[in-house]
Structure 1
């Protein structure tokens, strides 16, 4: 079972004292998260101002640094429209990512405009794609288009735990009906982060945790860092094994 550490997401700089946004911070945090039990990393690249960026230079600089100084584990990057709101410009930026510094994989949210074309571009560039499924309709897009993805990320965005569980169950049922056997990862956000991690353990899917998904530990206290969150998730994974 993979434990993916999602280091920063689209959270604003300063939203948590330990949120990593600079290259030094992301590299140091990557080591700490892996030492705490993470098997993989998921990162939202940040420009010099700390804002999300898919700019080729930003991506190359980040990947070169992580490959040189970071832990030697798979790294996925986002392509979310939160990082570049224009789907056409997003496609152009990703198309210009430098081959020597490509990530191991990227996440593509299938409900977003231009997502199918972006997946096909990444397929051509031989970059693994993990399909982000926020809704039943996004799941139907995955099934109907037959696009090539290496894994599916079931990501209910509902605020309430029961609503999130219902959405996740719907997505899982659609995948099962289509006999989709690709690896799955289930996760929530904020109030649903830990309940969805428990549901992932029960379903036998990969898990994800980090400051992108929640700033708090299961008991509601503020986490000190990504490593703090990963260590707790790792304990839960071990207990469920």
Structure 2
């Protein structure tokens, strides 16, 4: 088993310094964190930007600032922007962000797009026109059914076939286990471009299990702050280092 593609999600939309002092909020902090994570073994960055108040933002200017600086400082790190609504943004806001920014890579929730069935097809159209790679965020098998239906209807293009399985998003306490992957894999047995993220102390166990099955992994403070013993990681880079060690141990077992 070769080492999987590792994406770091260093902050997310909801956590802040009160959750962990090393969680990056500003663009300069994101750049520093991205550099340390790349050195630790990250291949990609799942990018969230924050406004002046530290709140989740889809501001195109902030995204341009962050992605431009990342391209200069870390040209080999692949950057994926988020379009997450986080209870703040509607589909027109998400469409506007994608249309104006024209990112190389974006994560898009089919569940969120379904809030606007008129605009949803245009979201996937604009991504195809701008060569923006789409990663579909899937929280459960209902989301998979929706994605498959939209693929059948041609709303989602044939080339837009990358997915992220989110394990445990709606479990009690948002605590994931490796078995949470089973229904996703059964529903999409032939998928080749897939990634996993998970929550809680078993984050690394879940990701290592996915890696054994050929999946890519997303790790970081957006999803979990702690080790399997419930102890906080020093920072995002430390979590990546620990994950790689867990994967190597599993590979040797």
**Please, what TM-score do these two structures have when normalized by structure 2?**
0.84
Q: Which moved more, 1:26-35 or 1:8-17?
A: 8-17
Contact 1:31–1:71 (CA under 8 A) maintained in structure 2: no
Query: How far apart, CA to CA, are the structure 1 residues paired with 2:197 and 2:94?
Result: 25
Alignment pair present for 1:129 and 2:134: yes
Segments of 4+ in structure 1 off by > 6 A?
A: none
* CA displacement at 1:72 relative to structure 2: 2.2
Q: Quick one: distance in 1 between partners of 2:197 and 2:7? A: 10
Superposed CA deviations along residues 147-177 of structure 1, whole A, max 9, x for unmatched, are 232411111213358976555322211111x
Determine if contact 2:208/2:243 at 8 Å carries over to the other structure: no
Which aligned pairs between 1:92-107 and structure 2 lie closer than 5 A? 92-97=96-101, 99=102, 102=103, 104-107=104-107
* Structure 1 residues without counterparts, runs of 5 or longer: none
Equivalence for 1:13: 16
Q: Which has the larger displacement, 157-166 or 72-81?
A: 157-166
Q: CA deviation at 1:46?
A: 1.7
Match of residue 217, structure 1, among 224, 227, 242: 227
- Quick check: 1:41–1:76 contact (8 Å CA) kept in 2? yes
Structure 2 residue runs without a partner (length 5+): none
Name the structure 2 match of 1:158.
Answer: 170
1:51 matched to 2:62? The reply is no
Q: Counterparts of 1:84 and 1:7 in 2: how far apart (Å)? A: 20
Q: Match of 2:76?
A: 72
Give the corresponding residue for 1:23: 27
Displacement, 1:75?
A: 0.5
Distance in 2, matches of 1:47 and 1:70, equals 23
Deviations 1:183-233 (A, max 9, x none): 111221224523421331332211111111111122211111000101011
Q: 28, 33, 36: which is aligned to 2:37?
A: 33
Matched, 1:119 2:127: no
Q: For 2:239, what is the secondary structure of its paired residue? A: helix
**Which whole-Å CA distance do the structure 1 matches of 2:142 and 2:95 have between them?**
22
Cα separation, partners in 2 of 1:92 and 1:190, compared to 1, 3 Å: same
1:169 paired to 2:173:
no
1:238 aligns with 2:243: no
Q: 1:3–1:234: 8 Å Cα contact kept in structure 2?
A: no
CA distance in 2, matches of 1:130, 1:123: 12
